[in-house]
Chain A
Amino acid sequence: MKSMNIMVVGVGGQGTLLTSRIIGQTALKAGYDVKLSEVHGMAQRGGSVVTFIRYGEQVFEPVVEVGDVDVLISFERLEALRYAHYLKQDGVLIVNDCRIDPMTVVIGAKEYPEQILARLQTEHRVLSLDAGKIAQELGNSRVVNSVILGLAATQLEFSKDAWLEMIAKTVPPKTVEVNQAAFCRGYGQNA
């Protein structure tokens, strides 16, 4: 098979790294060669953050090139807009319907773009949800990433049980249940 190429984007501090690692671990457990690429240091300070996950029989480069992304997972609308051109022709875009203003917008130097989701839908297959709202309903605002992962998982080949098992292994022990519940809510959105 050709490798599966996943890109996770968001704003520093949103937990994109943990999500990427769960995807990578799940693919490794399924017997694939896996490579991930992360961003540390300067880019973590509220900046735009990008991680890549690739799996397949043999994977060479740890990054995914523009035009090669099968599934793009964005934790924020503007970041989805920024990176949507990484998608393949038939790639899928998963978007958390949330807005975080970059400093350029906060200080009034730039406008936050309008109608991002509608614009993206004209070119791409888009699945979106408000993960923040769902996380709040579950009583823990920190499980946003598990909700998003749940929706993204519907586009990947691994079983629901495989995901739940990996979440249990990866998140802090006290939060396993709520993270799994969050995952299921995201997963159910596309049922």
Chain B
Amino acid sequence: MAEQKIMLGNEAIARGAFEAGVKVCSSYPGTPSTEISEYLSTYPEVYTEWAPNEKVATEVAIGASISGVRSLACMKHVGLNVASDPLYTFSYTGVGGGSVLVVADDPGLASSQNEQDTRMVARSAHIPVLEPSDSGEAKEFIKLAYQISEEYDTPVILRTTTKLSHSQSVVTLDERVVPKDREYTRDASKYVMMPASTIGRHVFVEARENRLAEDANTLSINRMELRDTKIGFVTAGIPYQYVREACPEASVLKLGMTNPIPKALIAEFASKVEKLYVFEELEPVIEEQIRAMGISVLGKELFTRQGEYSANLLRRVLFGTTDAVFTAAEAPNRPPILCPGCPHRSVFSVLARLKIHAAGDIGCYTLGAVAPLNVIDTTVCMGASISSLHGIEKARGKEFIKNWVAVIGDSTFLHTGINSLVNMVYNKSSATVIILDNRTTGMTGHQEHAATGKTLMGESTYAIDLASLCRAIGVPNVIEVDAFDIKALEANIKQSVKGDVLTVLIAKAPCALLKGQKFPYVCVADPDACKKCGACLKIGCPALTKNADGTVTINATMCNGCGLCQSYCKFGAIAKVER
């Protein structure tokens, strides 16, 4: 009997790519897509890498495909925006070896800055989209995606969502089958997208989509499940599971491919059921196309565009009831926070004291926006801290940004922050940029990047030196500081925000969760010396608890001994001792 395993959706996608004979995978980490590349890197047969950003990753996959092998790029939904420049034209060139982009959407915002729907991008780029609804399907669908890619000469998007990527279900393992590398032949009419050849390829793209749309009607993963015909649902992905849970007797048209949609099959299904619903998270992508066919359907007037769906949502809307028995109790929120020993906390504590505004970026440091630190003013997208601060300076002048900095992590800086810094140098900025260099891609769970000296496959490599890089592009003032040296931080920040030259301050200290670190110290509060001033509590460290009498206790298991609380105690009531 074939081996069965419970697998995370992302692990199953990696397994499917492995079984499909993928040879090259390039990605940038992003929740909820990160684990796909990590799992794939455990198969030595597949070359896997972290690229500095999704545009680069996609172009690497394009090159590998043109050369004749099966290739993969994985990213989160907002990563697809970064990759969309190559993506739209990749649709025109088509593939050599099969090529798939796995794009993970995040309805419900587990860890993202927006709730965009990848299917909208796929429609405008004319790229087919497959949507699995559990781990088993995830593995099979990505294999099918490679077949479709090669048969129709198109990149294919495998769309997953947080719930699929981060849920586990049973998968049956198969062998890896590597197709023969396709012959590479020089073909400017296919691969050189200048107007003369693009005109022809655009005709091809339209014909390809029409053929796919026709074939979608008989594609095995577009499946009609006829049960009670009073109610029929058109659905795909994880929402299919909610429909089966809440309405086990209802008929379902389960779409495995959501772009292009199978119009004849939908019309047939619609004719067989009395009332037709579309149950799709985020945008009404399927619904609007069905309406355009002149078929009466219910969708977003009942079901929200926001967040994740659930079986109880269906029950509530259709039957007016849910399974709830008890009512929820009042409980103080427990939002995510910076970890004990986090170097970002140290930098933010200084910014808070100096009452400095920060144009923020994408990473753990977004958590500096909430109480008690409250130092982040803006978060838009990867790299935007630097460029938006530049915009503020150009709009309002140097005087206005004398209490502003940009903060960006090391991995995010290499992703797209570097472009923004080039702009600052070129266009004569005098702003202050702080690179929070914690030697890893923290938020997504510690991935290597171009400045860590290690590859995804675990090999040693050249580590880009951030200070040298900044100097090389012409930043006049580059300062490296220990992120826990709050005196040096304070002095440098004070001076640079007022100064007339562009300054990059690199605050260095490894992420407290990074493997292999030793924490020889622990902080201990002396209740007798404590004056109950609360200064240490203002840094927002979860290891500290305020006692009923106003004194402070430090949880020894949680404390990493960074000593930041000690630095802020004027009365010497906190000691840093060896464990």
A residues near B (Cβ < 8 Å) are 11-13, 21, 24-25, 28, 33-48, 59-63, 65-68, 78-79, 81-82, 84-85, 87-89, 100-113, 119, 123, 141
B245 touches A60 (CB 8 A): yes
User: Could you tell me if B110 and A101 are in contact, using CB atoms closer than 8 angstroms?
Assistant: no
**In chain A, what residue has the closest Cβ to B329?**
A81
**Is there contact, CB below 8 Å, between A41 and B32?**
yes
Can you spell out 26 A-B residue pairs with CB atoms less than 8 angstroms apart? A12-B336, A24-B168, A34-B170, A37-B166, A40-B31, A41-B110, A41-B445, A46-B338, A46-B542, A47-B335, A48-B334, A62-B163, A65-B311, A67-B323, A67-B324, A67-B325, A68-B323, A82-B331, A87-B326, A103-B337, A103-B371, A105-B332, A107-B371, A110-B332, A113-B331, A113-B332
- The total number of A-B Cβ pairs within 8 Å is 186
Q: Does B6 contact A (CB under 8 A)?
A: yes
**In the complex, B8 has a CB within 8 A of chain A:** yes
B316 to chain A, nearest CB (A): 10
Given contacts A42-B110, A85-B324, A88-B323, 13 further A-B contacts (CB under 8 A): A33-B170, A41-B111, A43-B111, A46-B336, A61-B311, A63-B167, A66-B312, A66-B322, A67-B326, A85-B326, A104-B333, A107-B538, A113-B330
Given that A39-B110, A62-B163, A85-B329 are contacting pairs, would A46 and B337 also be in contact in the complex, using a CB cutoff of 8 Å? yes
Is B241 engaged at the interface, CB distance under 8 Å to the other chain? yes
Interface size on B, residues (CB 8 A): 59
Chain A neighbourhood of B540, CB < 8 A: 103, 106-107
Complex Cα gap A81–B326 (Å): 12
Task: Please provide the 7 A-B residue pairs with the shortest distance between their CB atoms, ordered closest to farther.
Answer: A67-B323, A41-B111, A47-B336, A62-B167, A41-B31, A110-B332, A42-B111
Within 8 A of A (CB), among B325-363: 325-339
Determine whether B298 belongs to the interface, using a CB cutoff of 8 Å to chain A. Answer: no
Q: Does any Cβ of A come within 8 Å of B169's Cβ?
A: yes
A141 to B35, CA, bound (A): 28
With an 8 A cutoff between CB atoms, is B304 at the interface? no
- Given A104-B334, A113-B332, the answer on whether A41 and B326 have CB atoms closer than 8 Å is no
Residues of chain B lying within 8 A (CB to CB) of residue A38: 8, 166-168
Q: Please indicate the chain A residues that have their CB under 8 angstroms from the CB of B333 in the complex.
A: 48, 102, 104, 110
Instruction: Please report the C-alpha to C-alpha distance between residue A88 and residue B324 in the assembled complex, in whole angstroms.
Output: 8
CA gap between A153 and B197 in the complex, in Å: 66
- CB-CB under 8 A from B324, the residues of chain A are 66-67, 85
Q: Kindly list chain A residues whose C-beta atoms are within 8 Å of the C-beta of B371.
A: 103, 107, 109
Contact A35 B331, beta carbon cutoff 8 Å = no
Q: Which residue of A lies closest to B309 (CB)?
A: A61
* B498-540 interface (Cβ within 8 A of A): 534, 537-538, 540
Which residues of A sit under 8 angstroms from B312, Cβ to Cβ?
A: 65-67
Q: Which residues of B contact A (CB under 8 A)?
A: 4, 6, 8, 31-32, 34-35, 110-111, 134, 163, 166-170, 238, 241-242, 244-245, 310-312, 322-339, 364, 367, 370-372, 443-445, 534, 537-538, 540, 542, 544-546, 557
**Known interface pairs A37-B166, A40-B31, A84-B329; A103-B542 also in contact (CB < 8 Å):** yes
Q: Determine if A67 and B331 form an interchain contact, defined as CB atoms under 8 angstroms apart.
A: no
Q: Which residues of B contact A67 (CB under 8 A)?
A: 312, 322-326
Q: How far is the CB of A60 from chain B (nearest CB, A)?
A: 4
Which A residues are in CB contact (< 8 Å) with B557? 141
Q: Which residue of A lies closest to B239 (CB)?
A: A61
A104 to B537, CA, bound (A): 11
* A107 to B334 Cα, complex, angstroms: 12
Chain B residues whose CB sits within 8 angstroms of the CB of A40 once the complex forms:
31-32, 34-35, 110-111, 166, 445
B170 and A78 contact, CB distance less than 8 A? no
Report the separation of the CA atoms of residues A119 and B329 in the bound assembly, to the nearest whole angstrom.
10
Given A45-B364, A82-B329, A89-B325 in contact, is the A35-B167 Cβ separation under 8 Å?
yes
Q: How far is the CA of A89 from the CA of B544 in the complex (A)?
A: 37
Question: A27: nearest residue on chain B (CB-CB)?
Answer: B6
Query: Contact check: which of A65, A102, A112 meets B335 at CB < 8 Å?
Result: A102
Task: Tell me if A35 and B168 are in contact (CB < 8 A).
Answer: yes
Instruction: Report chain B residues within 8 Å CB of A102.
Output: 332-335
By the criterion CB–CB under 8 Å, are B339 and A46 in contact? yes
With A36-B168, A65-B310 as given contacts, are A104 and B337 in contact (CB-CB < 8 Å)?
A: no
Most buried by A among B332, B445, B540: B332
Asked if B110 and A43 sit within 8 Å, CB to CB, the answer is yes
Chain A: CB-nearest residue to B135: A35
Give the Cβ gap from A107 to chain B, nearest Cβ, in Å: 5
Interface centre among B8, B31, B238, B324 (most CB of A within 10 A): B324
Enumerate chain A residues within 8 angstroms of B167, measured Cβ to Cβ. 35-38, 62-63
Contact pick for B31, options A42, A60, A62, A107, CB 8 Å: A42
Q: How far is the CA of A63 from the CA of B134 in the complex (A)?
A: 12
State how many angstroms separate the Cβ of B294 from the closest Cβ of chain A: 32
With contacts A25-B6, A40-B166 taken as known, whether A62 is within 8 angstroms of B332 at the C-beta atoms is: no
State the CA gap A66–B337 with chains docked (Å). 26
User: What is the bound-complex CA distance between A89 and B324, given in angstroms?
Assistant: 9
User: Nearest Cβ distance between residue A180 and chain B, in whole angstroms?
Assistant: 22
Known contacts: A38-B8, A41-B32. The answer to whether A106 contacts B364 by CB under 8 A is: no
Chain B residues with CB below 8 A from A81, complex form: 329, 331
The residues of A that contact B244 with a CB separation of less than 8 Å are 60-61
Q: Which residues of A contact B327 (CB under 8 A)?
A: 85
Q: How far is the CA of A108 from the CA of B310 in the complex (A)?
A: 35
Instruction: Provide the residues of chain B in CB contact with A105, threshold 8 Å.
Output: 332
Q: CA–CA, A13 to B6, complex, Å?
A: 23
By a CB distance below 8 angstroms, the chain B residues around A110 are 332-333
Check A88 against B332 for contact (C-beta < 8 Å). no
Please tell me if the beta carbons of A47 and B334 are within 8 angstroms of each other in the complex: yes
The answer for the CA separation of A34 and B6 in the assembled complex, in Å, is 8
Docked complex Cα distance between A74 and B165 (Å)? 24
Query: B residues within 8 A CB of A35?
Result: 134, 167-169
Contacts of A85 in B (CB 8 A): 324-329
Report yes or no: B134 in contact with A106, Cβ–Cβ below 8 A.
no
Residue of A nearest to B372 (CB): A107
Q: A38-B8, A62-B134 are in contact. Are A45 and B336 (CB under 8 A)?
A: yes
Chain A residues within 8 Å of B537, by CB: 106-108
In Å, the complex CA distance between A89 and B337 comes to: 34
For B334, the chain A residues whose CB sits under 8 A away are 11, 46-48, 78-79, 82, 102-104
Collect the chain B residues with CB atoms within 8 Å of residue A84's CB.
Answer: 326, 329
Is there contact, CB below 8 Å, between A44 and B336? yes
Residues from chain B with a CB closer than 8 A to the CB of A36 are 6, 167-169
CA distance A21 to B445 in the complex (A): 19
Cβ distance A148 to chain B, nearest Cβ, rounded Å: 16
- Distance in Å: Cβ of B239 to nearest Cβ of chain A: 9
Distance, CA A123 to CA B328, complexed state (A): 12
